[in-house]
């Protein structure tokens, strides 16, 4: 048994059992992939894959159990490499943060500026994606830190830490009738076409739930991934916007007005997530602490270690 065989097992599942794609991903041939799989099955004395002719269709029960161990072994092997880099090159490396457009655009600029001042030799890769992509990258080892409002809490493999709390607000053109409606109500908002976030993004679930609880069916005319697009089409008069209040800037958004709606929509919590058992470099802990000063290295280590031993990470 060797690490290349383990990598092939993991990659075969990730590539939906397409051995040509596995070979391309691991820089080897399809025949080489097949031989590694066959050799490992012969060594273990069990079949790991369900087959139809020469095609692989899925994992057998032993294969499913083995995959759990393979993921753990490869993850720990990467942890060993990262640990060595921490002591040999403590201020050199790469930090990958995966987040949504809203966090990247409005919450993180100050943090990233301070981080780059402290660690100029660390390459910071900021990847923007949707909730599922964020989870996949973190669990797959492609990202070190995730920052998002939705999706992370559903994954027990992740350790989560509250970053900050925020509310949705209503944005309308200057002179809009809703500026005179005090207090603002969901019924009043529902009289107009609405422009807001795509389903699953930036607290959209809580917006939908607020209307559902009031037995209202809003006319969601348009959806977008980020607040800048929402504001653009609100300013064109295509509807009223529901978006994160922090995305509104009175100086830049001169043609719009923000209406406080915290009494209508539930509070949102943006969280920082790391994979349990994942070894983080010292500068990664510093990035998290720059986001929220109460999230010290000791706090994050203790909560993210699946063994409960903070010295192990």
Segment 27-48 shows an average pLDDT of 89
In this prediction, residue 30 carries a pLDDT of 87
d(CA 142, CA 137): 5
Q: What is the pLDDT of residues 223-256, one digit of tens each?
A: 998 899 999 999 999 999 999 999 999 999 999 9
Residue with tokens 């030799």: 121
Determine contact, residues 79/106, Cβ cutoff 8 Å.
no
- pLDDT at site 310: 41
Report DSSP state, residue 198.
Answer: P
The conformation of residue 2, written as its DSSP 8-state character, comes to -
Residues 172 and 195: their CA atoms lie apart, in Å, by: 10
Exposed (0-12), middle (13-18) or buried (19+): which is 218, by Cβ within 10 Å? buried
Q: At what angle do helices 30-44 and 3-14 cross, to 10 degrees?
A: 110
pLDDT tops 60 at residue 178: yes
Find the range with the poorest average confidence among 128-132, 183-187, 287-291.
128-132
Q: Could you tell me how far CA 174 lies from the centroid of its own chain?
A: 35
What's the CATH number for 92-164+269-312? 3.40.190.10
At residue 278, the pLDDT reads 82
The token pair at 139 is 């669990």
The model's confidence at residue 306, banded by pLDDT at 50, 70 and 90, is: low
Cβ count within 10 A of residue 312: 12
What CATH number has the domain spanning 168-266? Answer: 3.40.190.10
Query: Is the predicted pLDDT of residue 167 greater than 90, yes or no?
Result: yes
- Same fold for the domain at 92-164+269-312 and the one at 168-266? yes
The arrangement of secondary structure in 3-83, i.e. its CATH architecture, is Orthogonal Bundle (1.10)
For the chain, the residue count is 313
Q: How far apart are CA 11 and CA 288, in angstroms?
A: 30
Query: Taking the complete model, does pTM exceed 0.75, yes or no?
Result: no
Rounded Cα distance, 221 and 195, in Å? 6
The stretch 213-232 carries a mean pLDDT of 95
Give me the pLDDT at residue 25, please: 87
Distance CA 48, CA 38 (A): 9
Question: What pLDDT digit, counting tens, does each position of 132-152 carry?
Answer: 899 989 988 889 999 998 878
Alpha-carbon dihedral 228, 152, 61, 79, rounded to 10 degrees: 100
The DSSP output letter for 101 is H
The domain spans of the chain are 3-83, 92-164+269-312, 168-266
pLDDT in tens, 71-127: 778 777 776 776 776 666 667 889 999 999 989 999 999 999 999 999 999 999 999
Give the mean model confidence (pLDDT) for residues 50-59.
89
Helix axes 297-304, 282-291, angle to 10 degrees: 110
Sign (positive/negative) of CA torsion 120, 123, 129, 134? Answer: negative
Q: What is the separation, in whole angstroms, between the first and last Cα of the chain?
A: 27
Looking at every residue in the chain, the average pLDDT score rounds to 90
User: 1 and 8 in contact (C-beta within 8 Å)?
Assistant: no
Collapsing DSSP to helix, strand or coil, 299 comes out as helix
């Amino acid at each position: 048994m060797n690490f290349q065989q383990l990598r092939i097992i993991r990659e075969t599942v990730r590539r939906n059992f397409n051995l040509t794609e596995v070979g391309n991903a691991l820089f080897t041939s399809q025949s080489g992939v097949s031989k590694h799989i066959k050799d490992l099955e012969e060594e273990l004395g069990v079949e790991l894959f369900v087959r139809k002719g020469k095609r692989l269709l899925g994992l057998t029960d032993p294969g499913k159990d083995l995959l759990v161990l393979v993921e753990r072994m490869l993850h720990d092997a990467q942890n060993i490499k990262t640990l060595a880099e921490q002591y040999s090159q403590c201020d050199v490396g790469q930090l990958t943060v995966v987040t949504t457009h809203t966090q990247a655009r409005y919450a993180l600029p100050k943090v990233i500026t301070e981080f780059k001042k402290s660690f100029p030799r660390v390459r910071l890769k900021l990847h923007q994606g949707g909730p599922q992509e964020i989870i996949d990258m973190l669990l797959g080892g492609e990202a070190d830190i995730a920052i998002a409002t939705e999706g992370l809490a559903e994954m027990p493999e992740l350790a989560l830490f509250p970053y900050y709390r925020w509310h949705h607000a209503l944005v309308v053109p200057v002179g809009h009738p809703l500026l005179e409606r005090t207090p603002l109500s969901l019924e009043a908002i529902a009289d107009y076409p609405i422009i807001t976030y795509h389903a699953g993004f930036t607290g959209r679930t809580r917006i939908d739930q607020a209307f559902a609880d009031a037995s209202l069916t809003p006319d969601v005319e348009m959806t977008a991934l980020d607040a800048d697009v929402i504001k653009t089409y609100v300013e064109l008069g295509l509807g009223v916007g529901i978006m994160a209040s922090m995305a509104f800037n009175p100086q830049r958004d001169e043609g719009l007005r923000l209406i406080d709606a915290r009494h209508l929509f539930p509070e949102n919590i943006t969280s920082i997530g790391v994979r349990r058992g994942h070894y983080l470099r010292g500068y990664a802990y510093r990035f998290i602490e720059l986001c929220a000063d109460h999230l010290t290295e000791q706090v994050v280590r203790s909560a993210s270690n699946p063994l409960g031993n903070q010295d192990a990470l």
